[in-house]
């Protein structure tokens, strides 16, 4: 997923991937105080609101991927090659990192199911699904593709929002299994198509800010609703990818950053992080788990100030980017390049 378009580097895509990867790393630290007290009406504090912005992380990856790939003509053989490669990369690093380093060296249990293996690098499997579906849309009549997108959008984004309203009105209402769904992460297809559509569009910066704030407000609203419904702090990030709030956050950031120009945003650091976003995604959990365990052992508590977690996330993001860049100079680059 290289950041090139018409043989010219798109620095905004590097920046978007760098930002998205930082959001993923920051979110996975999970060492912030969210000020939750049982049996009270919960409202997210500043820490939680900042973390909720991370709901734009994975959507931005899908959007950049869509902007870079969807309008390119492809073939069945190319799609199969791409999908096979994604599966091999995911399984290889699951064995090396999840079943090896994380399980053995960091003392965390082995996956105990097929889902446990897939779940570690679910984004790569989801991306494979997106490649397959986009190819099928390309070779079928347009109305079938549009119908598929409408159905997925309705069963994820619209369905989730409707149930947010229902639970806001009546927090004690039983949420059925289909009341909140990502539809097997097929929302990634929506994000990729939106990225492809928006890459040549422009929007006033002030409008982008308003869209961003609306998206954040909807994500805050969802967190309030689901936390007060379940009695535990709602995730608000992974669980919010197939929501209108995350969609608006992603669209706003995509518009704001996709057209940045040289030389300011072409710094070596930004390019390194953007080019090595796959490696960061694959490697960051090792360092996040290691740091979290050490901090708990040293300080004997689980929460730290926001600035500490921000600095740690920046450090891990940069470290993994340069580790990935080092590997990319060896034959091992085939296990990192999407």
pTM attached to this predicted model = 0.93
Q: What is the pLDDT of residue 8?
A: 63
Q: Helix 57-69 vs helix 187-198: angle between axes, to the nearest 10 degrees?
A: 60
pLDDT of residue 329: 93
Residue 9 has a pLDDT of 67
Nearest CA to 83 among 134, 137, 131? Answer: 131
- The 3-state DSSP class for residue 208 equals helix
Q: pLDDT, tens digit, for every residue of 207-228?
A: 999 999 999 999 999 999 999 9
pLDDT at position 6 is 47
Instruction: Name the stretches of the chain with pLDDT < 70.
Output: 1-9, 114, 117, 262-266
Bridge partners, 5 (sequence order): 8
Which pLDDT belongs to residue 263? 60
pLDDT in tens, 145-177: 999 999 999 999 999 999 999 999 999 999 998
| Residue 97 and residue 286 in contact, taking contact as beta carbons nearer than 8 Å | yes
Contacts of 264 (CB under 8 A, 6+ apart): none
Predicted local confidence at residue 277, as pLDDT:
95
| pLDDT value, residue 105 | 80
């Amino acid at each position: 997923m290289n950041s090139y378009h018409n043989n010219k580097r798109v620095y905004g895509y590097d920046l978007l991937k760098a930002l998205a990867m930082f959001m993923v790393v920051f979110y996975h630290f999970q060492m912030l105080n969210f000020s939750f007290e049982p049996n009270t009406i919960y409202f997210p504090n500043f820490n939680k609101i900042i973390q909720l912005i991370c709901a734009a992380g994975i959507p931005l990856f899908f959007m950049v991927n869509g902007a870079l790939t969807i309008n390119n003509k492809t073939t069945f053989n190319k799609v199969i090659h791409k999908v096979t490669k994604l599966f091999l990369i995911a399984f290889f690093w699951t064995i090396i990192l999840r079943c090896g380093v994380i399980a053995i060296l960091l003392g965390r249990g082995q996956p105990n199911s097929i889902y446990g293996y897939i779940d570690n690098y679910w984004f790569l499997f989801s991306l494979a699904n997106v490649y397959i579906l986009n190819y099928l849309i390309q070779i079928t009549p347009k109305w079938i593709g549009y119908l598929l997108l409408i159905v997925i959008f309705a069963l994820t984004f619209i369905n989730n929002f409707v149930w947010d309203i229902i639970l806001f009105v009546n927090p004690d209402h039983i949420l059925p299994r289909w009341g909140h769904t990502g539809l097997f992460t097929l929302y990634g297809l929506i994000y990729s198509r939106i990225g492809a559509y928006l890459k040549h569009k422009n929007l006033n910066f002030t409008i982008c800010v308003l869209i961003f704030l609306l998206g954040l407000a909807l994500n805050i609203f969802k967190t309030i609703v689901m936390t007060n419904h379940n009695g535990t702090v709602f995730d608000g990030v992974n669980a919010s990818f197939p929501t209108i709030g995350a969609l608006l956050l992603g669209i706003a950031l995509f518009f704001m950053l996709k057209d940045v120009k040289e030389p300011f945003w072409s710094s070596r650091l930004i390019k390194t992080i953007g080019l090595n976003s796959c490696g960061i995604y694959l490697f960051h959990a090792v360092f996040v788990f290691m740091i979290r365990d050490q901090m708990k052992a040293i300080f004997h508590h689980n929460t730290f100030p926001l600035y500490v977690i921000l600095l740690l996330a920046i450090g891990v993001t940069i470290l993994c980017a340069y580790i990935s860049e080092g590997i990319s100079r060896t034959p091992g680059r085939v296990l990192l390049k999407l």
